Amino acid sequence: MLILAHRGASADAPENTLLAFEKAMAMQVDGIEIDVHAVADEILVIHDRWLKRTTKTHGQLSDYTLEQLRELDAGMGQKIPTLWETMQCINGQCLLNIELKGISDLLPVVKLIDRAVDELNFELHQFLISSFNHHLLFEVKQLRPDIQIGALTSSSPLDYAAFAQQLDAYSINIDMDCLTSAFVNDAKQRGLQVYVFTVDEIADLDVLAKMGVDGVFTNTPDKAMVRRAHKFE
């Protein structure tokens, strides 16, 4: 079962910062999940459109210039990183799951992935683009069929994983509260990977491993790595 650091090692460092990514890599995680928004000509790595929770700042991303946003403190003196800075930091040392939040034009993200494959130590299969917006994922596949996509869901549809197969997704990234064994089995039959968020309780890891889940997003990857090393229970 893959261990994916949710927003980096976000229990140990401010989420979606280079420090959180460095800490996650030091834990030898299999992958890191990040959230991205487009701002001006840049792609910024940040979860919320509103700035209060992560930077203690009034207003939202669109109220500020890129320069102003880059001055903000994202916690422990960290700045809001760009997607390119994040790619340079991770540099192919583990998988990178880019979750599209405030993005409507996919081209800049795809271009950065290509650049990372050309100029850094990444291979294309180390990237996974995910979103709750399945129309966007459909566009990614139209644009670049060779980029892996993860269909995010916080629901359990009647026809289980059919929507993800229809999208030609690599994985279904599903909320733990919506997951059942029937869903996992259906996804497997359709050749889909099943990744589950957000799993911070050790007991849940054990249950998911038994269900045959392929990966978990966790804020506490260090604990999950130790549990996996002991082969779960």
Residues whose CB falls within 8 Å of the CB of residue 169, separated by 6 or more in sequence, listed in order = 137, 149, 150, 151, 192
The yes or no reply on residue 21 touching ligand G3P (CB under 6 A) is: no
Which of 21, 64, 127, 197 is close enough to bind ligand G3P by CB under 6 A?
197
Q: Residue with CB nearest Mg ion?
A: 99
Match 């849940």 to its residue by tokens. 204
Residue-level length of the chain? 233
Is position 6 annotated as part of the catalytic site?
Answer: yes
Which of 33, 139, 186, 222 is close enough to bind ligand G3P by CB under 6 A?
33
Is position 37 annotated as part of the catalytic site?
Answer: no
Of 34-42, 163-171, 188-196, 199-207, which part binds Mg ion (CB under 5 A)? 34-42
Q: 163 near 141, Cβ under 8 Å?
A: no
Which is it for the CA torsion 191, 36, 95, 5, positive or negative? negative
Helix, coil or strand: residue 40: coil
The yes or no reply on residue 222 touching ligand G3P (CB under 6 A) is: no
Match 């009034």 to its residue by tokens. 58
The yes or no reply on residue 99 touching Mg ion (CB under 5 A) is: yes
Helix, coil or strand: residue 41: coil
**Beta carbon nearer to Mg ion, 35 or 139:** 35
Rounded to whole angstroms, the Cα distance separating 106 from 43 reads 10
**Beta carbon nearer to Mg ion, 100 or 187:** 100
Element (H, E) at 153: strand 149-153
23 binds, among ligand G3P, Mg ion, none (CB under 5 to 8 A by kind): none
Q: Using CB under 6 A, list all residues that contact ligand G3P.
A: 6, 33, 35, 47, 99, 130, 152, 173, 197, 217
Active site residues: 6, 47
Q: Using CB under 5 A, list all residues that contact Mg ion.
A: 35, 99
